[in-house]
Amino acid sequence: MASNDKKDPFISLVDKLRSFFGFGNHPKKQTGLPGKKHFSIWYFIFAMIAFSYLQPLLFSPKTEAILYSQFKQYVSQGLVSDLIIRPESIKGTLAGPPKRAFTTVRVNDPDLVKELDESKISYSGRYENRFLSSLLSWVLPLGIFFLIWRFAMKKMGTGMGVMSFSKSKAKIFAETDTKVSFADVAGIDEAREELEEVVEFLQTPEKFQKLGGRIPKGVLLVGPPGTGKTLLARAVAGEAKAPFFSISGSEFVEMFVGVGAARVRDLFSQAAAQAPCIIFIDELDALGKARGMNVMGGHDEREQTLNQLLVEMDGFDANKGVIIMAATNRPEILDPALLRPGRLDRQVLVDRPDINGREAILKIHSINVTLGPDVDLRRIAGRTPGFVGADLANIINEAALLAARNDKETVDSADFDEAIDRVVAGLQKKNRVMTAQEKEIVAFHESGHAIVAESVEHADPVHKISIIPRGIAALGYTQQQPTEDRYLLTRSELIDRLAVLLGGRVAEEVVFNEISTGAQNDLQRASDIARAMVTEYGMSDLLGLVSYGSPRKALFMPEGFSTGKNYSETKAAQIDDEITRIVDEAHQRVRKILSERRTVLDDLARLLSQKESVQGEELRQMLAAAP
């Protein structure tokens, strides 16, 4: 027997209304359990509207409305009875069969009562008590709005009420929620070893207490942004299988006075109830900035919050098994009271990874990425000196997106090269139109940088030269690849770096006998190096082993406050002369190099104009073949 698929019109209307108001049927989960019913505020509103319209139809008796003139005729004929005369209406019963109720509007008719008495029709009046109706007219809507408000407050949760400002906004992760372990951390082995001991404090505190040792109260993670400070804190909680309270320093302070201090108290009371656990305060500098740095004076809300934090950390019993961890990349502005022993006992440096660390980080982030056979993570790590974990994760992600955009099956070496170029130099500006003259100037400019870099002894080898515009203002770039991580620079290396920076400007002078604005950033960086050599590094024979750099700013000085220079005007003139001399000597040296290799300069610029990108190996072959 065929089933009838045609829906009833009323059911179709209800389905459309449910779809319009957004509370359609919720499918059952695939777990075999009955689906969860979701209540919506639209159910309540729709029910109230329907009840308002259906009440007169379902619960009120059927009454016929007649004209007053008809009513007068029925009175004269004696066809009405049981009249109820009200100030604005008259209700009664019409003779049948069948009898039926009627109502009519009362008009000013002085003879009505006399006619009713003559026709011997029973009638009565009714006093209208409006108190109850007027009371219900505002009590009932008020009650409805109260119910809606209660429902909305429950939906928003306990942390959104008016009286919840003093509640801590810390996100609490249970023992099983923090699924990060030390296996997810790479490139910062020294910091990880320090924190492995913190895990041991939480797991076996009696091992240290039996010898009279005291468990550290707090650990401060210090390092540049993106090095993995928050990841380390989560790894500690995951390894220790302890509850993890995570909050940012800025979430304590509000516009209301006293709220921050109340939140600090609430956070520590919750932590004490769930010990052993970890409290992690990210971006501690937002809360723990040194007191007294407010140039406007006064005892502001942030300082009250910091005072409460210091009190709570002091009154906290370390043997309860609560470890306070904090992270910052600006330790120099923290209040000294935070850093003293007994509060943040240990300061762990989370530094930029070396080449081995970068390779390990790349391996972790590329676990779920399908790499091509030509990808060498060691080579990628060598091309990214100074990169932190967040930068390396971004490179892996960018390379994967580029490969997917080009419909590749694997992420190959070319995708990683383009991803590094994107992160370092910015996005390609393929639609930027350059005149032929501008393109030629940029080609010779970048060729000058590359040839000088390959000609001096201590410069990093050239990896790629490109005249494709990238980023905000870069019309081209010369990319050098360090052979190893460097932590010290000698005077000869700095002088060679000066020469490489001046290579583009000097190439324009040699070829065009004219200069452009393209060397602005190069000149600024060259001037900074020369000034640092003279004033900070003591590399000037004339000025000797004296540092003329800016004096160190006192801890409690407000930011931007300068105490001025600490040397005389005569010494300032000598400093300027020495800086000029160093730059001029580098300029003459570069001019000589490019004049001797003018043929290679012309050939490389011509090749760049054709291909827009030249690899370092091609340049080295051209230099080897040149006389």
Query: DSSP readout, 390-420?
Result: HHHHHHHHHHHHHHHHTT-SSB-HHHHHHHH
Query: Mean pLDDT, to the nearest integer, of 179-189?
Result: 83
Query: Mean pLDDT, to the nearest integer, of 25-53?
Result: 53
Give the pLDDT of residue 94: 85
Q: Which residues does the annotation mark as catalytic?
A: 446
Give the pLDDT of residue 173: 62
Q: List where CATH 3.40.50.300 sits in the chain.
A: 171-349
Give the pLDDT of residue 148: 80
Q: How confident is the model at residue 452 (pLDDT cuts 50, 70, 90)?
A: very high
Helix (H) or strand (E) holding 211: none
| pTM for the whole structure | 0.65
CATH of the structural domain 436-625, one choice from 1.20.58.760, 3.40.50.80, 3.30.70.2190, 3.10.450.40 = 1.20.58.760
Q: Length of the chain, please?
A: 627
310 vs 316: CA distance, rounded Å:
10
Give the pLDDT of residue 129: 59
Helix (H) or strand (E) holding 556: none
Sign of the torsion angle spanned by Cα atoms 357, 358, 360, 361: positive
- Residues 6 or more apart in contact with residue 616 via CB below 8 angstroms: 450, 461, 462, 463, 464, 465, 481
Give the pLDDT of residue 410: 92
Q: How confident is the model at residue 480 (pLDDT cuts 50, 70, 90)?
A: confident
Give the pLDDT of residue 298: 46
pLDDT at 617 over 50: yes
- Residues 6 or more apart in contact with residue 159 via CB below 8 angstroms: 167, 169
With beta carbons less than 8 A apart as the criterion, state whether 604 and 449 touch. Answer: no
Angle formed at CA 286 by CA 276 and CA 159, multiple of 5 degrees: 60
Burial 345-358 (b: 16+ CB within 10 A, else e): bbebebebbebebb
* Tokens read off for 99: 């009898």
Q: How confident is the model at residue 588 (pLDDT cuts 50, 70, 90)?
A: very high
Q: How confident is the model at residue 277 (pLDDT cuts 50, 70, 90)?
A: confident
* pLDDT above 90: percentage of residues in the chain: 24
| Lowest-pLDDT range of 16-25, 75-84, 102-111 | 16-25
- Residues 6 or more apart in contact with residue 318 via CB below 8 angstroms: 214, 215, 216, 217
Helix (H) or strand (E) holding 465: strand 462-466
pLDDT at 602 over 60: yes
CATH architecture for segment(s) 171-349: 3-Layer(aba) Sandwich (3.40)
Query: Mean pLDDT, to the nearest integer, of 263-288?
Result: 85
The CA–CA distances, whole Å, from 471 to 181, 324, 384, 432, 477 equal 37, 42, 18, 11, 11
465 vs 479: CA distance, rounded Å:
6
Nearest Cα to 158, choosing from 147, 169, 148? 169
With beta carbons less than 8 A apart as the criterion, state whether 299 and 254 touch. Answer: no
pLDDT at 607 over 70: yes
Give the pLDDT of residue 6: 46
624 vs 557: CA distance, rounded Å:
57
pLDDT at 433 over 60: yes
Query: Mean pLDDT, to the nearest integer, of 519-542?
Result: 92
pLDDT at 600 over 90: yes
Tell me the pLDDT tens digit for each residue of 102-124. 888 888 888 888 888 888 888 88
Give the pLDDT of residue 202: 78
- Domain 359-425 grouped into CATH 1.10.8.60: yes
Beta strands, E only, 162-243:
171-173, 218-222
Beta strands, E only, 96-234:
100-105, 123-125, 171-173, 218-222
Give the pLDDT of residue 136: 61
With beta carbons less than 8 A apart as the criterion, state whether 84 and 126 touch. Answer: yes
Q: List where CATH 1.20.58.760 sits in the chain.
A: 436-625
Q: How confident is the model at residue 450 (pLDDT cuts 50, 70, 90)?
A: very high
pLDDT at 159 over 70: no
With beta carbons less than 8 A apart as the criterion, state whether 232 and 350 touch. Answer: yes
Q: β-strand 346-349 against 244-248: which pairing, if any? A: unpaired
- Domain 63-125 grouped into CATH 3.40.50.10140: no
- If you write DSSP's letter for every residue of 423-447 in order, what string do you get? HHH--B-TT----HHHHHHHHHHHH
Q: Which amino acid is at 532?
A: A
| Lowest-pLDDT range of 162-176, 185-199, 567-581 | 162-176
Nearest Cα to 392, choosing from 357, 426, 368, 427? 357
424 vs 391: CA distance, rounded Å:
10
Mark residue 489 as left, alpha or beta (left: phi above 0; alpha: psi -120 to 50; beta: remaining): beta
Query: Mean pLDDT, to the nearest integer, of 68-76?
Result: 84
Cα dihedral 342, 332, 327, 386, rounded to 10, equals -140
Q: Tell me if residue 507 falls in helix, strand or coil.
A: helix
Give the pLDDT of residue 40: 57
Give the pLDDT of residue 497: 94
Nearest Cα to 626, choosing from 583, 605, 591, 596? 596
Give the pLDDT of residue 257: 62
Q: List where CATH 1.10.8.60 sits in the chain.
A: 359-425
Q: Tell me if residue 84 falls in helix, strand or coil.
A: strand
Give the pLDDT of residue 37: 44
* Tokens read off for 504: 């583009």
Mark residue 173 as left, alpha or beta (left: phi above 0; alpha: psi -120 to 50; beta: remaining): beta
Give the pLDDT of residue 594: 94
- 336: cis peptide before it, omega within 30°? no
- If you write DSSP's letter for every residue of 262-288 in order, what string do you get? HHHHHHHHHHHHT-SEEEEEESGGGT-
Average pLDDT, the chain: 79
439 vs 448: CA distance, rounded Å:
14
Q: How confident is the model at residue 493 (pLDDT cuts 50, 70, 90)?
A: very high
pLDDT at 77 over 80: yes
Q: Tell me if residue 261 falls in helix, strand or coil.
A: helix
pLDDT at 31 over 60: no
Beta strands, E only, 58-186:
63-65, 80-85, 89-94, 100-105, 123-125, 171-173
229 vs 245: CA distance, rounded Å:
15
Q: List where CATH 3.30.720.210 sits in the chain.
A: 63-125
List the 123-125 sheet strands across, edge first.
63-65, 100-105, 89-94, 80-85, 123-125
φ, ψ dihedrals at 186, nearest 5°: -145, 155
Q: How confident is the model at residue 25 (pLDDT cuts 50, 70, 90)?
A: very low
Give the pLDDT of residue 126: 66
Give the pLDDT of residue 1: 43
Long-range contacts of 127-130 (CB under 8 A, 24+ apart): 128/86, 128/87
Mark residue 71 as left, alpha or beta (left: phi above 0; alpha: psi -120 to 50; beta: remaining): alpha
pLDDT higher at 461 or 322: 461
Give the pLDDT of residue 289: 79
